[in-house]
Structure 1
Amino acid sequence: MKEPIIDASGTTLQQYLQHHARGKAVRRYLWYRLARPLLVACIWVAAAFYIYWCVASAGSTEFALREVIPDALTILWIGMALTVWTLARRFGTSVSNLKQPARVAPISTLDLAKDVVLSVGTGRRLVAFHDEDGLISHVAPLQQELA
């Protein structure tokens, strides 16, 4: 499961710290609690101001092409910005998925799961012993098992 938090906007900082590193947890918490709501509010205020400006500046005369071009360019710019943002987000997600190691399919045989050697940190190795159900019963340093 890549994202364990279903509704990220209502979670606490402690919940983020349980699933992510400290820096990533703080960034996500600040994004969902502060930056994203502020961005949405600013977009709504800008849209309301733009609509007000269009209505207030409209006269009783016919529209000329010179008057319509800024409005069309504004709409085009907003559409392009949202498209680029979406493509950049998808590209960033695909790059981060490439960096993650591939997951190995689970092996059904419990005999292969006995005495698995795990690398933990730099230069420290552990041996995990499994019970009959395939759960880890205890872990011991590798040096004790070799001696």
Structure 2
Amino acid sequence: MNFPIIDVSKQSIAQFTRESSKAQAMRSVAWYRVVRPALVLCMWVLAAVYFRWCLANASPEELSLDAFMPGITGIAAVAAAMIIWTFGRQMDAMNTNRARRMPVSDDVSYDATREIAVGNAGRCLVAYHDDDGTISHVVSMPEFERQAA
């Protein structure tokens, strides 16, 4: 499967069956919908149990505010960087004068590009790049397969 995990986990059994046998499809659905989320949940529970054990067995010096300050400072620095990054991205998105990352080419209209992006093709798109590395045009996977054949 050549799709990102977040896309694969949303697929139905019928979509998995198109690419593999029924047994393999059932195993894939079980892994992405049951086993993998259960493993993640177990890891969080084990981390919480370990953290509680560490706090229960810590000495008074280890539980002082001075012992926690380096960790608190690090967490605060990461949180501040994420907040500044979020505000910067929102301000950049509101800027109407900035150049768009996906220019519409002459042979593919804006409406056709939008139809490909949100239509039946879903997330299966092929992007063509020019020599400068910018996207020249985008086609759906069925169109790409017709062109390649």
What TM-score do you get using the length of structure 2 for normalisation? 0.37
Higher radius of gyration, 1 or 2? 1
Structure ranking higher on relative contact order (CA contacts 8 Å, 6+ apart): 2
Between structures 1 and 2, the one with greater strand share: 1
The normalised TM-score by structure 1 is 0.38
